[in-house]
């Protein structure tokens, strides 16, 4: 049963905060056309710090294939993101190593609670008159307790 507009407006707003998370982000290095042919896609992973006051630290970004095996780690040293800052990671359209069921695992932490980041993958492909683009959103697998960032 739907609530009347006045009741919805008075509902408390839930603010999601954390000191760290492990985030699963589905992505696609290719999709299949109607005739079954694979259509390659470029992937941009976007991590957006939505906090207006707190920093977050990206500890790892790992790219996995359709079987769940690690293909490559995209972070060689931790990346600190200031308030409202964005980090992006790119997988070329020609990179078919992960398959259509690829995913990223992203691990981030913060010294104090910050609002949950937006973690998305943007897939884009263009060939002739055909263009494809879509976005997938990350899913939190674990809340992580803060640990001092690793020094690599």
The secondary structure of residue 8, as a DSSP letter, is H
Question: Chunked in runs of 10, what are the mean pLDDT values of the chain (152 residues)?
Answer: 57 70 96 92 97 95 97 96 98 93 96 94 93 96 75 46
CATH topology of domain 16-143: Hypothetical Protein Tm1070; Chain: A (2.60.290)
Residue 152, pLDDT score: 43
Q: Please list, in sequence order, all residues whose beta carbon lies within 8 angstroms of the beta carbon of residue 81, skipping any fewer than 6 positions away.
A: 47, 49, 55, 56, 57, 58, 87, 117
Whole-number Cα distances in Å, 83 to 19, 66, 74, 80, 107: 14, 34, 22, 10, 18
b/e per residue 111-135 (b: at least 16 CB within 10 A) = eeebbbbebbbbbebeeeeeeeeee
- Residue 18: the pLDDT is 85
Q: What is the pLDDT of residue 17?
A: 81
CB-CB contact of 144 with 22 (8 Å): yes
Question: What is the model's pLDDT at position 2?
Answer: 62
Query: Closest Cα partner for 20 from 115, 87, 105, 139?
Result: 115
Whole-prediction pTM: 0.84
For residue 130, the model assigns a pLDDT of 86
């Amino acid at each position: 049963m739907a609530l009347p507009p006045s009741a919805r407006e008075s509902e408390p707003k839930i603010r999601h905060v954390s000191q760290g998370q492990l985030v699963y982000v589905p992505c696609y290095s290719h999709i299949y056309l109607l005739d079954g042919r694979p259509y390659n896609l470029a992937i941009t992973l976007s991590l957006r710090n939505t906090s207006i006051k707190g920093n977050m630290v990206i500890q790892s970004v790992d790219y996995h294939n359709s079987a769940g095996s690690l293909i490559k780690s995209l972070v060689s040293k931790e990346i600190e993101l200031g308030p409202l800052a964005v980090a992006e990671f790119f997988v070329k359209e020609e990179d078919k190593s992960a398959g259509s069921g690829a995913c990223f695992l992203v691990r981030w932490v913060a010294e104090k609670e910050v609002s949950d980041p937006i973690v998305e993958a943007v897939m884009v492909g263009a060939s002739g008159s055909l263009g494809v683009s879509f976005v997938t959103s990350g899913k939190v697998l674990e809340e992580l307790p803060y640990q001092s960032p690793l020094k690599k």
